[in-house]
Structure 1
Amino acid sequence: MKQLPGETIRLLSSSQVITSVVSVVKELIENSLDASATGIDIKLENYGFSKIEVRDNGSGIKVDDVPVMAIKHYTSKISSSEDLERLTTYGFRGEALGSICSVSEVLVTTKTAADDFSIQYALDSNGHVTSKKPSHLGQGTTVTVLNLFKNLPVRKQFYSTNRKCKEELKKVQDLLTAYGIIKPDLRITLTHNKAVIWQKTRVSDHKMACMSVLGTAVMSSMVPFQQCCEYPEINLSGFLPKAESDSSLTSLSSSERSFIFINNRPVLQKEILKLIRQYYSQATQKDSTRLYPVFFLSITVPASAVDVNITPDKTQVLLHYKESVLLAVENVLKSLYGPLPAAVPGESNKTDVTSEDMFVHRTDQTDVAVNEMGPSGNDELHAHTSFLSLSSDVQNCQAGKNAEICLNHQTFSGDNVHSRLDKREVSKSDAFPDSSLNLLGEEEQNGRNMADIQSNSVPVDPESKKA
C-alpha cells in the first residue's frame, strides 16, 4: 500500500462535497447568511458551468483570515466538536470554499466595515492566495467560480445536455425559494446569462414571504398554525392547505413546494412528508401517491437534539427524539384534517407514513397517538396547538378577524401510552385532558398591498408558476 498524493485526496473529497451547480450555490449562500447578509445576488453563465457569482452585503472576511479562508477545515464557526451542540450557523466544517477551489477557478472579493476598500484575491486549487488587487465593490463578499468541473470530465459531460442544464437551473431556483421563505428579510436575485429570472424582495414575516413566492391564490387556500410542546422542547409553525382547498392550487406532482425546515435549515424528511401527504390525501380525497401538498413547516428544537453532520450537503439530519416530533406534527394534522380512518387489522404496516414506533389507534371514544419512550424516560408530550385562519380577503392582504382554534395543553399520559400495538381502551378524559376546542378572535396585523408583493417573484418559466 501507499498513501495517495495530497492533490488526489483533495480532489476525491471535494468532488463529494461539490457535486453540481446547485451545491456550489448552496454552500456560498449559506456562507453569506452566516455573515449576516440581507441581500444576495446570484449570477450564472451557461447554467453555472462557465461562471457562478454569489455577491452579498454581509460582514466580509477579515484581512487576517484571508490566507486561510479557503484552506480546508479552517473555520470561524466552531472551535471543537462540542460546539455542534450549540450550532447556530449553516456551515461548520470549513471545507466548502476549499472544495470549490479543487474543482474550479475561484476569485474572492471582500471588504469589512473596517477596510478602506475591497480586495480581489485569486486562489489556486489548494485554496492558497496567488494574487490580489484592489476592487471597487462595497462591503460584503463576492465569490466567483469559473469553469466548474474543469478537472472532472465525466461529471462535466453528465451535465452537458440541455435537459440536465435546465434541471440544474430549476434546482437553483427551488433552493433560493426555500431560503427566501425561511428568511423573510432576505433579498435575493437570480440572473442567468444577464437576464433576471427570479427575485424576491425583503418582506416582514413568513406569511408575506410565502405570498411573494407562492402567490396569493395559493395562500388564500392555506391556514397558518403554531404548536409548542413543553417537553420535549418542540416548536412547530407554518402553513398547511385548508381541508376544503382546491387540490389544483395546493398540490403538485413533485415535492418542490413542500418545504420542511429544522432550525431554519431546509431538509429532506421523508417520514414527515409522507405523514402530511397521507392526511392531505384523506382531506382532499386524492391519491397520496400522486400528489405532494404545498406547505411550509418550520420545526425548531434545541441544537443539541439535531445531528446535521450526516451528508455533505447537510440536507439530511438526525433528530434525537424523532418520534416526539412526528407525534407533534400528527397532532397538528389531526386538528386540521381530522383523524385517519381506522387501520384494517393485519394491514397496519402497510402505511407509508409512520414508523414502527408510532401508531394511531382508533377506539370507540377517541383517537390516541402512541409513541415510544422519549429520552426523558416518560411518554408525556405537552402541546399547545393553534390555527389562525387566513382571512377571506387575503388576496388584498387586508387586516381582518381570524379564528384561532386552540388545543390547550394536550397531554398524553404515560399511564395510557404503550409502545406496542394492543387493544386497550383509553377514555377521552384520560387521553386528552382539557382538550376542548376554543374559538378566539384575533386581529391580523399584516396589511400589505398585494400588487407590490406579486412583483417580488419572477418565475423561471410558466410551468414553475403552477405552484
Structure 2
Amino acid sequence: MTPSPTAGGPAPRRPIRPLPDTLVSQIAAGEVVERPASVVKELLENALDAGASRIELRIEEGGMRRISVSDDGGGIPAGELALALTRHATSKIGSLEELERVGTLGFRGEALASIASVARVRITSRTADAPHASVRDSAASEAVPAAGTTGTTVEVFDLYSATPARRKFLKTPGTEAAHCIEALRRVALAHPGVAFSAWVDGRRVEDFGAGAWQERALGGLGEDYARAHRAIDTGPPTLGVSGLLGLPTVSRARADRQFFYVNGRFVRDRVLMHAVRQAYADVLHGDRHAAYVLFLRIDPALVDVNVHPAKIEVRFRDSQAVHRAVFHAVRDALRASAAEHPSLAPGQEAGAHFARPLPVPEHSQQMQRSLAIGQPSLSYLSGFDGFSGTSTVSHPGRETAAPAPGAVAASMAFLAPDQLRPPAPEGLRAAGDAAAAQSAAQSANPGAAPLGYAIGQLHGIYILAQNAQGLVLVDMHAAHERVVYEKLKAAFDAHSVPVQSLLVPATFRADPLDVRLVEDEPEALATLGLELSVLSPTAIAVRGVPALLATGDPAALARSVLAGLRESGVEHALASHRDALLATMACHSAVRANRRLTTEEMNALLREMERTAGADQCNHGRPTWVQVGLQELDRWFLRGR
C-alpha cells in the first residue's frame, strides 16, 4: 500500500508535464473572474477600448445566470471572433515597447478566454463595413451570420458552470447584482462622454447620460456633496491631478466614496490613497473618511499597469514624485482660504458653482428644508431684541429695508455684561484697534470682503456678518482656533516659535512621569515654545508659552502638551503627531464662548480667516462659517409670494 502524504510518508513522485489549456485558463480565471462584477468590469473596459459612445449592461440572477454588455463601438471582424476567445490574443499591444506605454484599459488578452473557461460565452459583432453581424459561441466551432447593428454584444451564461465549487463562495443574487452595478459606476465615472445604462432582472436601475465630468463625478459621490465639494485641476499633462473633493464637513463613517483613476483606469493604490489621507489629515479627525473622485494624468511610460491580472494595481517609476503631486494638489485645494471662494452672481444658488461652492453642512440644509415646508423654528435668532434703525441696501431687482449695521450691533443681546467681559486675545485686540478707523466705511460696503463685515454677536458664540451674498455666520472659537493653529505651524516649521515669558509663573501639580519628562526633554519643549521648570517632585512651573497662546491658561496648556508627548513618545510625537500637538495648543488659546468681542475685533477675525489657508474648517473638520444667501432668506420669509 502506497503511504499517503497525510499519513506521514513521502508523496509519490509525479512527472513534470504541461497543464491542459483548459486547466491553465481556469487557473487564470481564478484571478481575473473573482465574481460576476469582475466579468462586468472586463467587458465594460473592452467596450470602451472599442470606441463605444453608448454601453448597456444587463444581468440576471446577480450575473450568475446571464451577463450581457452591448456597445456601439467599432466591432470585431467575423474572421477574428475565434481569436477573441483565445488566450493571449489581443489587438491592443504587439511589442514590449507598446506594453511599457499601454494606453488602453485592456491589453493582456486573457479576460474573454478566462471567462469562457468557467462559463459559456457568446459574441455577436458587426463592423461598419460588414453586410451583417456574426456570432461566435464558445461552445461552437465557428462564427455564423446573425442580425445586429454596428458594435458588439458579449453574453456570459451560467457563470462558474464549469467550476461549480466557485459558486459556493458567491453571495446572494441581490448582493452580487449590487457589486455589478458598483463596477459599472466605477467605470462610468471616468468616462463622462459615454452613456451607460444598467438593467437588473429586466428592471432599469442606472442611466448615466453623456455629459460634463463634474456632473458624472457628483453622481458617484451622492447628493450630500452637491453643495459640499471643491474641484481641482492642476499640473501638466504628464503628471497632473483633477477631480472633485468632498468637503470635510460632510465626511463618512466608511471609505465607500473614494474613487481614484490613473489614466482613466480605476485603481486601489497605497501611494495614492496615503497621499490623499495625509492631505485631509489637517481637516478630518478621528475615524472619519473623505469622499472624492480623483484622476491622475501621467505619462504611460512612468506607470506599470501590468502588475496583476485584474489590472487594479499599478506601480510608479517615481512613487515619491506622484505622492507629492497628489498630496499638494489635494491639500492646496482644501486649504484655499475664504477669500478664494467665487462670488455668486445675483439670482444664483450656492450649489450652482461646481468649482468652489460655499459650504453648507447637513444640519444647515435640514434647517432650511424644515423652514421651506412651513415648520419654522427661529429659536436660533433669540438673541435679537429687535431693530432700532433701518437703511436701504441693494437687492437684485428691488430696494429693501435692512437694519443698519450700527443699529443691529447696538440691539444685540450679549450674554456677558461689560464688567465681566474678559480681555480679547492680543492678536484680535491689536488688529481690532488698527481696523477701528475704517470699520464704518467697510460695513457700508459688505461686498468688499468675501466674509463681509460684522453686524453683531449671537449668544456669545457666533459672529453675524453681512457680505454681498447675504448673511455669514461664523463660529468664532472654531475660526480663531484654525487661525492660531496655522500660525503655530508656520512658526514651528520655521524653527522660530516666539516665546512670551510670564511675569508670574503658573504652577501646577504633576505626577513623576511629567516631572521626569520636563527634566529630560527641555529642548523638545522649547521647540514647542514652552519654558517649563521643576519646582519639586510633584510640581512644575510654566515660565514661558508661545506668544500666540499668551492669553490662554498656561497650566492647562502645559498639561495637554505633556500628556501628548507621554502618549506617543517625544521623538515620534514631534515627527508624526506634530499637527495634533499644535492643534491642541491652538485650542487652548482660541476665543471661548460668551466672550464679547467688539465689532472691530470681529472684523479683524474675519480678515484673518480670509488670509488663512484652510480657514473654512476647524482643526476637527467642522465648518467655521456658513453662508445664507439672500434668496434663502427670502424663501424663509416668503418674500415675493
TM norm structure 2: 0.50
Matched, 1:152 2:182: no
Tell me, what secondary structure is at the counterpart of 2:330? helix
In the alignment, the residues of structure 2 paired with residue 399 and residue 131 of structure 1 have an alpha-carbon distance, to the nearest angstrom, of: 52
- Give the counterpart letter for 2:20 in structure 1: P
Deviations 1:311-354 (A, max 9, x none): 11100000111101111122123323459xxxxxxxxxxxxxxx
Counterpart amino acid of residue 128 in structure 2 = A
> Per-residue CA shift, 1:72-104, capped at 9, x if unaligned?
111110001210222111111111111111000
Tell me by how many angstroms 1:5 deviates: 2.6
- Normalising by structure 1, we get a TM-score of 0.68
Task: Give the structure 1 partner of residue 319 of structure 2.
Answer: 322
User: How far, CA to CA, are the matches of 1:38 and 1:265 in structure 2?
Assistant: 17
Structure 1 residue 62: Cα displacement = 1.4
Q: Which range moves more in the overlay, 259-268 or 209-218? A: 209-218
Q: How far apart in 2 are the matches of 1:35 and 1:260?
A: 23
Task: Check the 8 A contact 1:200/1:213 in 2, yes or no.
Answer: no
Does residue 301 of the first structure (1) align with residue 311 of the second (2)? Answer: no
Distance 1:158 1:402, change over 3 A: closer
RMSD over aligned CA atoms reads 3.0
User: Which residue of 1 is the match for residue 206 of structure 2?
Assistant: 198
Identical-residue share of aligned pairs (%): 26
Q: Does 1:218 align with 2:229?
A: no
Q: 1:154 deviation in Å?
A: 2.0
1:441-456 equivalences in 2 (<5 Å):
none
Matches within 5 A, 1:134-149: 134-149=145-160
Q: Which residue of 1 aligns with 2:25?
A: 10
Match of 1:235 among 223, 235, 240: 240
Question: Residue type matched to 1:33 in 2?
Answer: L
1:16-415 matched pairs, under 5 angstroms:
16-124=31-139, 129-159=140-170, 161-162=171-172, 165-203=173-211, 205-228=212-235, 233-242=238-247, 245-247=248-250, 251-284=251-284, 286-287=285-286, 290-338=287-335, 393=348, 397=352
Instruction: Specify which structure has the higher proportion of strand.
Output: 1
Task: Read off the aligned partner of 1:241 and give its amino acid letter.
Answer: G
C-alpha distance in 2, partners of 1:62/1:388?
53
How far off is 1:257 after superposition? 1.5
Q: Is the 8 A contact 1:186 1:202 kept in 2?
A: yes
Distance in 2, Cα, partners of 1:62 & 1:199: 29
Contact 1:41 1:54 survives alignment (8 Å): yes
Amino acid at match of 2:298: V
Q: Distance in 2 between matches of 1:215 and 1:256?
A: 11
For residues 47 and 182 of structure 2, the distance between their equivalents in structure 1, rounded to whole angstroms, comes to 18
The letter of the residue matching 1:234 is L
Equivalents in 1 of 2:350, 2:151: separation in Å? Answer: 36
Q: Could you tell me how far 1:182 is from its partner in structure 2? A: 1.1
For structure 2, the 5+ residue unaligned runs are 1-14, 359-491, 497-610, 614-641
Q: Deviations over 1:249-278 (max 9, x none)?
A: xx3333331110111110002232233234
| Contact 1:84 1:303 (C-alpha < 8 Å) held by counterparts | no
Mapped contact 2:58–2:200 kept (Cα < 8 A) = yes
TM superposition shift of 1:176:
1.5
Q: Deviations over 1:431-464 (max 9, x none)?
A: xxxxxx9x9xxxxxxxxxxxxxxxxxxxxxxxxx
Shift of 1:202: 0.8
Q: Which has the higher contact order (CA 8 A, sep 6+)?
A: 1
Q: Report the CA distance between 1:28 and its aligned residue.
A: 0.6
**CA distance 1:402–1:81, shift in 2 (3 Å):** same
Larger Rg: 2
Question: Residue 309 of structure 1 aligns to a residue in which SS?
Answer: coil
Q: Residues 388 and 110 from structure 1, CA distance in 2 versus in 1: closer, same or farther, beyond 3 angstroms?
A: farther
Conservation of the 8 A alpha-carbon contact between 2:54 and 2:71? yes
Residues 282-303 of structure 1 deviation map (CA, whole Å, 9 limit, x = unaligned): 314x31xx33211111111111
Change (3 A) 1:390 1:222: farther
- Deviations 1:184-236 (Å, cap 9, x if unpaired)? 11111111110111221111x21121234434541321111122159xx4111
Equivalent AA in structure 1 for residue 329 of structure 2? V
Q: Work out the number of aligned pairs and report it.
A: 346
